[in-house]
Amino acid sequence: MDDGKACAKCGRAPCIELRYSRTLLCPKHFSEMFEQRFRRTVREFSMIRPHDRIAVALSGGKDSAVLLHLLVGLKKRLPMEISAILVDEGIAGYRPHTIKTAKAVCRELGVKLHIVSFEKEFGGKLDTILGRRGGANSSWGACTYCGVFRRTLLNRAALKIGADALAVGHNLDDAAQTVLMNIMRNEPSRLARFGISGGVVESEGLVARIKPLVRSPEKEVALYAELHGIWIHYMQCPYANEALRQEVRRMLNSLEEKYPGTKFRIFGSFLSIKPALLGIAKKNGAKIPSCPSCGDASSGGKCSACRLLDGIKSGKKKLEK
């Protein structure tokens, strides 16, 4: 907040400075702008139809908690059914706290919460699967295992409750990071299929994922949560150390500091080139490969994630190539 300046809308102070648009807003007008942008994003990508059943992937963190609040608010204008799904991966010292927060958020908003767990579904907690309870020596492995299981479980739970869409709390920072990481890893087909509202390829058994916060910078999501007293958990997962993403996050934050609006521009560029990426692939007759199991991007046949899952099911812990 910049205490010495006045809001562009009402002239009141203190103000929040949005450097990317050179705008100063008081908390009230910041909140209005934030909510309007959320509603505009939902409309822009046709994310929700009237009377849709929306399942929100709730983690207890700021993004999903803010998303749930905004969707509940939107219900007054756009009728929909909302429920929440939380995945308990079995991470000691972390997940039990976030479950408490998620329960409190749902109680406050009157939203039904469905909790699914790795232990029940896959026969083991993440800590056990990794063989190092609560440790984080090699978080690359942790997030690889966790990511695929979470995705699978969220989809299964969403299917089970008959959801039309699964709303996830990905914000602008997540989107800009994902775009850059796909470029750095030379994964154009994965980049082409990075979805904002449902998958590029319709797939039976796969609930469409929607990302209504994709145009909201992470800092603003956190500020909105603070201004509105939204229950969130600030604890970080002990495994959260995916090396490349952390590097890209730091780099993007530093670029944003020097050149405000960088994250918006990266995401905007992605939206501009996405049709071209898909078009070139189709013109060349090259079907963008998709995993026969989960429908996600793949280099052919089952994706790495599903092979990982198969490996665990058969008692092996290494990704088979």
Question: Would you give the binding string for ligand SF4 spanning residues 16-55, x where CB under 6 A is met?
Answer: ----------------------------------------
Q: Is 181 in the site for ligand SF4 (CB under 6 A)?
A: no
**Binder among 54, 146, 166, 214 for ligand SF4 (CB under 6 A):** 146
240 is a contact residue toward ligand SF4 (CB under 6 A)? yes
Cα–chain center distance at 101: 18
- Compute the distance between CA of residue 266 and CA of residue 180 in angstroms, rounded to an integer: 8
Please tell me whether residue 154 binds ligand SF4 under the rule CB under 6 A: no
Q: Any contact of residue 239 with ligand SF4 (CB under 6 A)?
A: yes
Which CB atom, from 113 or from 305, has the smaller least distance to ligand SF4?
305
How far apart are the C-alpha atoms of 99 and 82, rounded to whole Å?
18
The greatest distance separating any two alpha carbons of the chain, rounded to the nearest whole angstrom, comes to 64
| Single residue of 33, 80, 106, 142 touching ligand SF4 by CB under 6 A | 142
User: Taking a C-beta distance cutoff of 8 angstroms, is the pair 148, 310 a contact?
Assistant: no
Strand 81-88 versus strand 53-57 pairing type: parallel
Closest distance to ligand SF4 from the beta carbon of 86 (Å): 12
CB of 253 to ligand SF4, least distance (A): 18
**Cβ(196)–Cβ(79) under 8 Å?**
no
Q: Which ranges of 86-171 would DSSP assign to H, the alpha helix?
A: 95-109, 118-122, 126-130, 139-160
Closest-CA residue to 166 (of 213, 198, 203, 193): 198
What b/e string do you get for 303-314 counting C-beta neighbours within 10 Å, with b at 16 or more? bbbbbbbeebee
Which of 68, 146 has the CB closer to ligand SF4? Answer: 146
We find the least distance from the C-beta atom of residue 211 to ligand SF4, in angstroms, to be 17
Count Cβ atoms within 10 A of the Cβ of residue 319 and give its class: 0-12 exposed, 13-18 middle, 19 or more buried.
Answer: middle
Segment interacting with ligand SF4 (CB under 6 A) among 8-16, 115-123, 208-216, 233-241: 233-241
How far is residue 190's CA from residue 181's CA, in Å, rounded to a whole number? 10
Task: Please give the size of the binding site for ligand SF4, defined by CB under 6 A.
Answer: 8
Region near ligand SF4 per CB under 6 A, out of 142-150, 153-161, 166-174, 271-279: 142-150
Contact 217, 173 (CB under 8 A): yes
Nearer to ligand SF4, 94 or 267 (CB): 94
Looking at the Cβ atoms of 61 and 295, the one nearer to ligand SF4 is: 61
Q: Between residues 40 and 120, which has the closer beta carbon with respect to ligand SF4?
A: 120
Smaller CB separation from ligand SF4, 96 or 279: 96
DSSP string across 275-298: HHHHHHHHHTT-PPPB-TTT--B-
Continuous segment of H or E residues that includes residue 37: helix 27-44
Among 79, 147, 205, 292, binds ligand SF4 (CB under 6 A): 147
Query: Shortest gap between Cβ of 94 and ligand SF4 (angstroms)?
Result: 8
Instruction: Return the residues of window 76-115 that contact ligand SF4 according to CB under 6 A.
Output: 89
Binding site residues, ligand SF4, CB under 6 A: 89, 142-143, 146-147, 237, 239-240
